[in-house]
Amino acid sequence: MNPSFQRLMAEATRLTQAGDLRGATAAIQAALGGPAAPAANDDHCVIDIEAREIEVEEAETGAAVPPATPAGQFISGSHTEAGGTREYKLYVPPGYRGQALPLVVMLHGCTQDPDDFAAGTGMNDAALERDFFVLYPAQAQRANTSRCWNWFKHNHQRRGRGEPALLAGMTREVMKRYDIDPHRVYVAGLSAGGAMAAILGDTYPDLFAAVGVHSGLPAGSATDVQSAFTAMKVGAVAAPAGHTPATIVFHGDQDTTVHPVNGEQVVAASAGAAESQLERARSDNGREYTRRIYRDASGRVVAEHWSVHGAGHAWSGGSARGSYTDAKGPDATAEMLRFFFGNALHGKC
């Protein structure tokens, strides 16, 4: 999601229109990270990353509690599964004393990293005010040269395999270490991270109580680079509604990287036949938006779709401290948290 990424995708579009499909495919592969490195099998690549330790004290529950500071702790670690190792950063709020708190998992977009994503979304600032944990998994460049989550590969779209299994395992490890409330665990992401968040909701509905997809695509929308390009440019076929958790979607209607119709299709997978209510307003920051709320037969909100008018491929209401943000849009961070905390799992993970 840097200028090089956008340039390559624009070149792929030009080559497709010119009939040069081989050249277009090469450009797409370069933009999305290219083929897997020979030494890194998609299911069994192991990346040795050293975790950075911090001084901790033991709570009565046995969880490791960082020393309290007014701003909380933003610590580094890593997690290993059969499918590989990934680094992460974890925000621990200053009010944590071993009690069960919610956890929000945040998946960055291509070329981003946890620090960039945290700065742009302001999620740590919100966690400081509202007392919850934030986990930022980091995609390894060895797994994808543009650091995109591999949402478009068939072996990263199923429960118990690839990156979904690794990310679910990382989430469970943090939950166990810090005694996270298992009923209030949520996942959100931007672009490739949004697409992977949709996959996690689809494959682990027993783990995530709600999902936030910003400028992303529905689960199962592609199985290779070519179909990924098609989905990004013209939209993907929505998967049938099943046990997908409640989902909130943000998408700019002028997004030229991931077509806005994908946001509608993410909602369709979650809302199914639920009836919708439409409202149109202007954010305090300046952009108009259309919000569609979907309720099931019992009146419970199962999905929300926010179409931000005039916005491109960027986190709505985000800060210029991070990349790919649009300060003029409604506050996606605040609205996702409102939506998340209105949903909880009724059974343990």
In a shared domain, residues 172 and 301: yes
Within a 10 A sphere around the Cβ of 338, how many other Cβ atoms?
A: 12
Q: In this predicted structure, which of 27-36, 173-182, 287-296 has the lowest mean pLDDT?
A: 27-36
- Alpha-carbon distances of 89 from 116, 135, 270, rounded to whole Å: 11, 6, 29
- Domain, as residue range, for 10: 1-32
How far is the C-alpha of 171 from the C-alpha of 90, rounded, in Å?
A: 11
Query: What does the mean pLDDT of the chain come to?
Result: 85
pLDDT above 90 for 25: no
Angle at 276 between CA 297 and CA 199, to 5 degrees: 85
Give domain status of residue 52, yes or no.
no
Q: Are 26 and 162 in the same domain?
A: no
In-domain check, residue 84 = yes
Q: How far apart are CA 88 and CA 54, in angstroms?
A: 14
- Banded model confidence at residue 70, pLDDT cuts 50, 70, 90: confident
Q: Is the same domain home to 201 and 108?
A: yes
Phi, psi of 331, rounded to the nearest 5 degrees = -75, 95
**Domain count along the chain:** 2
The answer to whether residues 323 and 186 belong to one domain is yes
pLDDT at 95 over 60: yes
What pLDDT, on the 0 to 100 scale, is given for residue 348? 44
pLDDT tens by residue, 152-179: 999 999 999 999 999 999 999 999 999 8
Which helix (H) or strand (E) covers residue 302, if one does?
A: strand 301-308
User: Of residues 43 and 195, which shows the higher confidence score?
Assistant: 195
pTM of the shown model: 0.82
| Residue 263 covered by a domain | yes
| Beta bridge mates, 92 | 73
